Structure 1
Amino acid sequence: MGVDSISPSDDSRPPSPVDWKEGLYLPRNWMDLDDWECPSEDIANLTYLSVPLGEQFERGRYVIVRKLGWGSWTTVWLARDRKTNTFVSLRILSSKATEKIKDGESNELDLIKRFIALCERDERQPAWTQHIGRFYDFFSHRTEENVEHLCMTMEPLAWDLWILKSRTPEGRFPRKTCKSLVRQILFALEGIHREMGYVFTDLKPNNVLIRPEAISSIIVDEMVVEPAMTDTLDSHRYPKGTVRCKSQPLPPWIGAGDHIGVVPLHVVLVDFGEAREPGQVFPETAQNKSFRAPEVYLGYPATSALDIWSLGCLVFWLVTGGEAFEPGWGGIDRETGITWDVEEAQLRDMSDRLKIDIPIEMRERSQYWDKYLDEHGNFLRSTEGEDLTLKGSMLMVEETQPPEDRLPDDELEGWNAFMLRCLKIQPESRPSAAELLQDPWLHES
């Protein structure tokens, strides 16, 4: 098991190439990004570790063979574990993310230590941990410039839900697949909330990955069929001659095609960098915008109910392929000249689509209430927006489908009822993960 702190106990391990300097890794064209949505307010200040293929970590134990992906705070690599002769996924945190952990601004390392301890209990391992990515170890890596990066090893996993959906011909998931995915995510959330006492905070398609049954065979096949890819960059955006590794996530099965409806999918949650203890007022930038709960905008103390809101948004995305609430860009009233920002536009969209006002009962505990709403709960600036309800959006999607692929009326009603249980504006009105697991919609065929 890893060390008890993230300070390295042995500075003699081979150094790694120089870190990315601040701002150099920011693409000018957002289409270059591997991640679905990276927060522009953060990414320019991150410092990733430059990792070439063949690089060795932890005194030569782990050898890099392929880049799997990257996120706002980490790069993820497929590595060969020379001690066990197996493959692992190596998550390398940026120096900025490492500093956040050392400064107590992130709980990720503490949670991972607890996950490792739980998984070492063998037959006493809680069932919900089967839907959490398995972590093996953690260690620190220092560069020649004495810059520290926390590294974590875990099981190799396959595509996330965003990639999986993009490979699905219909652009959305079959009903049975959708319900299975939601049940598994709820199992994971129920354990994180009840046993770990944390709010996951960052539930989105990119953080739900597939655990294949035959990962070793998939890796061997991929290394032959899709070898690791790199390209040399000579533009003003990067240091001259920089070699960039292309992200190549692993497929969930050999020869992955369009048959996900007949292939069982086991999914797990990953990335606990944003996990927080309940009862805090979360930063206004917490969560992906498309899955951000109203209490984040309002500065209302967050609880596990925040994850339930994100789940409701995720269910809408799974079933329709679209976003429940448009992130928006703010706006201006041409007649009055009154302007409003993105946050107010999204709050307004929530109120409009759910056909409910922001509950006045939330005002007293909302730090940012006066930023968006008056003392009666009326929006200060934005005009009336979307008339279409979430169910109406679903019906519009259904009309674009061939008749044989449309949802039956009872299925549509069950889906809508489940989603609306999750998407209550007031957090206290949302059910727990355990309660949602009993919802009839999840158990209908």
Structure 2
Amino acid sequence: MSCSSSSGSEEEEEEIDSYRKGGYHAVRVGDSFNDGRYTAQRKLGWGQFSTVWLAYDKPNSQYVALKIQKSAPQFAQAAMHEIEVLSAIAKGDPTHSKCVAQLIDHFKHSGPNGQHLCMVLEFLGDSLLRLIRYNRHSRLDLNKVREICKCVLIGLDYLHRELKIIHTDLKPENILLISPIDPSKDPVKSGKSPILERPEGGSLNGGATMTIIEKKLKNRAKRAVARISSRRASMGGGVEILGQNPKPKRSLEGIDMRCKVVDFGNACWVDKPFMEEIQTRQYRAPEVILHAGYNTSADMWSFACTAFELATGEMLFAPKDGDGFSEDEDHLALMMELLGKMPKKMANGGAKSRDYFDRYGDLKRIKRLKYWSLDRLLVEKFEFSEKDAQEFADFLRPILDFAPEKRPTAQQCLKHPWLNQNLTP
């Protein structure tokens, strides 16, 4: 989950039965933490391990994101790991110029469900996932894509080259704009006074049983209405609507595209990888699927997938399982259709290679591949100009090399001509 995001997990509310021993800490607006230093303002989001709140840091007169971990030992252990990584990140970036989330403080908070480790991070805005949705999955102006890519690469260069840290879960959800898309959600720009104490009869605002149940019922009702609408459309009631182009993209003028890399809960040091399976499915590198080991170049693969998604509004790879083949095999097939046949050494070099490839380096169950180059895809499907498609493909293609050791580093990508020129609008 985006650790300091104003978007957090956007789909559903957290489970109410997770507010128990070992689980979440129930927070009310106006609750104070760390001997009164931080006051809870509103909930920003939640993840499987924690809830995240906007809080006001009284001594420093600033808003922060307060991440409150579940209290069971395994969650406390995960938080300790994240604090260790974030502390190293903060120590090496005193000027806050490296485009990574900053840890401000951490402490323990005792509540009825146990002792919760808490992290205080700088308050940031919406995730790039929220930006893509806000833009209605339309193409983002390439100058804006370039601006975002520069920030992400500065962050990755710092993590990889200076700290020897692999993020392991880079994706639009884990990159946050420095301020919210909607200025009314920005606690500073909105001009509202901070809440400094609990209001009379203050609700749990997301921790309370009633609030969560009401939201769940509303969501269920919305889904039912959507199902009825889609059924009506398929029966002929809305055929013209279905045939129309999608809604036009929104104007993104005035939105600050500067961003930071967040969520280091799964990050690891280069010399201490602790999981074989890393990365969210659509951003997963081929060497990870094949269990062939990984290093910082796995993050670069995820970066290229993210850059493509920003520029087009669609995921680069969205694999599905099918009749007689797995999601993994479909993923490898999609990669090869776009990037060409995987070198035999790579195809046969992982602990799981035999699950998918024969000894000639061909997929066992998916035989007919439809090859389509990256620049043709950009022109024919996403209506890029030939020039923009060629230049963007020249930037992305080397990062999507099947051989991890051949991918350029973040530092090398920062010098690429595509990032350092004015693109045609």
Q: TM-score range by the shorter chain?
A: 0.7 to 0.9
Percent identity between matched residues is: 27
CA distance in 2 between counterparts of 1:115 and 1:281 reads 18
Contact 1:358 1:425 survives alignment (8 Å): yes
Q: TM-score, normalised by structure 2?
A: 0.76
CA distance in 2 between counterparts of 1:99 and 1:356 reads 42
**Shift, 1:168, TM fit:** 2.5
Which moves more between the two structures, 422-431 or 46-55?
A: 46-55
**Shift, 1:161, TM fit:** 1.0
Q: Which residue of 2 aligns with 1:345?
A: 330
Secondary structure of residue in 1 paired with 2:382: helix
Q: Which residue of 2 aligns with 1:336?
A: none
**Shift, 1:37, TM fit:** 11
Secondary structure of residue in 1 paired with 2:85: helix
For residues 148 and 389 of structure 1, do their structure 2 counterparts lie closer, same or farther at Cα, with a shift above 3 Å needed? farther
Contact 2:124 2:177 survives alignment (8 Å): yes
The equivalences for 1:61-80 within 5 A come to 61-80=37-56
Q: Which residue of 1 aligns with 2:376?
A: 392
Q: Which structure ranks higher in relative contact order (CA pairs < 8 Å, sequence separation ≥ 6)? A: 2
Q: Which residue of 1 aligns with 2:341?
A: 356
The answer to whether structure 1 residue 133 and structure 2 residue 104 are counterparts is: no
For residues 319 and 194 of structure 1, do their structure 2 counterparts lie closer, same or farther at Cα, with a shift above 3 Å needed? same
Contact 1:74 1:94 survives alignment (8 Å): yes
Residue 409 (structure 2) aligned to one of 432, 437, 443:
432
**Shift, 1:385, TM fit:** 4.4
Instruction: Report Cα offsets for 1:322-369 as digits up to 9, x if no partner.
Output: 1111131x111xxxxxx12111211121112212225424634x1211
Secondary structure of residue in 1 paired with 2:260: strand
Q: Which residue of 1 aligns with 2:269?
A: 277
The answer to whether structure 1 residue 99 and structure 2 residue 90 are counterparts is: no
Q: Which residue of 2 aligns with 1:402?
A: none
Secondary structure of residue in 2 paired with 1:140: strand
**Shift, 1:304, TM fit:** 0.7
CA distance in 2 between counterparts of 1:323 and 1:37 reads 22
Residue 413 (structure 1) aligned to one of 390, 396, 414:
390
Secondary structure of residue in 1 paired with 2:191: helix
The answer to whether structure 1 residue 53 and structure 2 residue 29 are counterparts is: yes
Contact 1:135 1:153 survives alignment (8 Å): yes
CA distance in 2 between counterparts of 1:68 and 1:278 reads 32
Q: Which residue of 2 aligns with 1:217?
A: 188
Q: CA RMSD in A?
A: 3.6
For residues 223 and 58 of structure 1, do their structure 2 counterparts lie closer, same or farther at Cα, with a shift above 3 Å needed? closer
**Shift, 1:218, TM fit:** 2.3
For residues 261 and 413 of structure 1, do their structure 2 counterparts lie closer, same or farther at Cα, with a shift above 3 Å needed? farther
**Shift, 1:157, TM fit:** 0.9
Which moves more between the two structures, 383-392 or 180-189?
A: 383-392
For residues 71 and 241 of structure 1, do their structure 2 counterparts lie closer, same or farther at Cα, with a shift above 3 Å needed? closer
The answer to whether structure 1 residue 295 and structure 2 residue 287 are counterparts is: yes
Residue 154 (structure 1) aligned to one of 121, 126, 129:
121
CA distance in 1 between counterparts of 2:27 and 2:82 reads 22
Q: Which letter maps to 1:205?
A: P
**Shift, 1:392, TM fit:** 3.4
Q: Which letter maps to 1:188?
A: G
For residues 51 and 239 of structure 1, do their structure 2 counterparts lie closer, same or farther at Cα, with a shift above 3 Å needed? closer
For residues 100 and 217 of structure 1, do their structure 2 counterparts lie closer, same or farther at Cα, with a shift above 3 Å needed? closer
Q: Which letter maps to 1:116?
A: A
Q: Which residue of 2 aligns with 1:7?
A: none
- How many residue pairs match? The answer is 367
Secondary structure of residue in 2 paired with 1:137: strand
CA distance in 2 between counterparts of 1:114 and 1:323 reads 32
Instruction: Report Cα offsets for 1:145-183 as digits up to 9, x if no partner.
Output: 4x3322111111111111122222672321111101101
For residues 268 and 87 of structure 1, do their structure 2 counterparts lie closer, same or farther at Cα, with a shift above 3 Å needed? same
Residue 201 (structure 1) aligned to one of 143, 152, 168:
168
Which moves more between the two structures, 261-270 or 301-310?
A: 261-270
CA distance in 2 between counterparts of 1:75 and 1:161 reads 20
Q: Which letter maps to 1:111?
A: V
Secondary structure of residue in 1 paired with 2:51: strand
The answer to whether structure 1 residue 443 and structure 2 residue 420 are counterparts is: yes
Contact 1:210 1:268 survives alignment (8 Å): yes
Contact 2:178 2:256 survives alignment (8 Å): no
